[in-house]
Amino acid sequence: MSAETTHQRINAAANLAVAWRIGWSPSKVSRLVRQYEHQVAGKGVRLFDFLCNSAKLTVERRDRERVVALGDPDNMILFADPVGEEAVRNVLRQRGY
């Protein structure tokens, strides 16, 4: 399992549902993430793909949404990186940007 927490996954799933214009309630998003964690996460399936299946997206739309949401589909990050973001801000500040 990755270093993502359940809360980070829920936030990422909720953001994807909004971007996809799917009317999932907060409880459904939470349930889907917990289902993913308990049944699928250790089997090499990404959360993004699990959510695509849950949303019943077509293969074409899934590929389009992956590129739109993630840029490079092989470098998917579904959570914020506050430590990395703070480090970037510090470097930019030190260099006068």
Residue 58 has pLDDT above 80, yes or no: no
Please write down the HEC assignment for all residues of the chain: CCCCCHHHHHHHHHHHHHHCCCCCCHHHHHHHHHHHHHHCHHHCCCHHHHHHHHHCCCHHHHHHHHHHHHCCCCCCCCCCCHHHHHHHHHHHHHCCC
pLDDT of residue 34: 93
pLDDT of residue 1: 42
Cβ-contact 22, 13 below 8 angstroms: no
86 or 70: which carries more pLDDT confidence? 86
10, amino acid identity: I
Residue 74 has pLDDT above 50, yes or no: no
What digits encode the pLDDT tens for the residues 13-54? 888 888 878 888 999 999 999 999 999 888 888 888 888 888
69 or 38: which carries more pLDDT confidence? 38
